[in-house]
Copies of this chain bind each other. A is one copy, B any other.
Amino acid sequence: MRFVDRYLAFLLAQASSRISREFHRDAEAAGLSVTEWRVLASLEGSDGESIGVLSQLTLTKQPTLSKVVKRMEADGIVARTRVRSDRRQTVVRITPKGHLLTDALRKRAIDHQDRVLEPFGQAKAEMLISMLRDLLALHPASPPADDEPSL
């Protein structure tokens, strides 16, 4: 057996790449780049995220992300607003237009996930989701490598 066939980091990287790639076709068919889809998906159900956190959530470097967010802001699908408790900070939020734009796509994402998990049965599927969530809780995202301020 190859070393990587039992190596968690390899298995996660391959699973992530293959499952995401399958769905990215749907995102692109809906007229969104992979990064735009990641931004909108990450903001869905959130009260707003700083560019630093959004960079971690979308796995996109801050300078690239800032440009993408600027374009999305111009399109009216996200908005930058100041944080009430700290007026120097801004967060990015999804707008009602952005929410509407991704409505069908989020349903397709969930359908895709259901198809991916279906062969495992509900109990094992739930366990996989819950173990991945626990893994993330145990391994917080490291601050972005770029020298831009993270907030």
**Judging by beta carbons under 8 Å apart, are B124 and A131 in contact?**
yes
For residue A106, which residue of chain B has the nearest CB? B3
Looking at chain A's contact residues, the main secondary structure is helix
Chain B residue numbers with a CB within 8 Å of A1 are 45
Interface string of A122-139 (1 = CB under 8 A from B): 001001110111111011
* Number of copies of this chain that the complex holds: 2
With contacts A41-B10, A45-B2, A129-B6 known, is A19 near B113, CB below 8 A? Answer: no
**Judging by beta carbons under 8 Å apart, are B139 and A131 in contact?**
no
How many residues of A sit at the interface, in one of the four size bands? 35 or more
Chain B residue numbers with a CB within 8 Å of A16 are 9, 12-13, 15-16
Bound Cα distance A57, B2 (Å)? 11
Q: Is A96 an interface residue (CB 8 A)?
A: no
Interface string of A95-139 (1 = CB under 8 A from B): 000000000001001101100110110001001110111111011
Closest 3 CB pairs of A and B: A3-B44, A12-B16, A11-B132
Residues of A within 8 A of B (CB): 1-23, 41-42, 44-46, 57, 59, 106, 109-110, 112-113, 116-117, 119-120, 124, 127-129, 131-136, 138-142
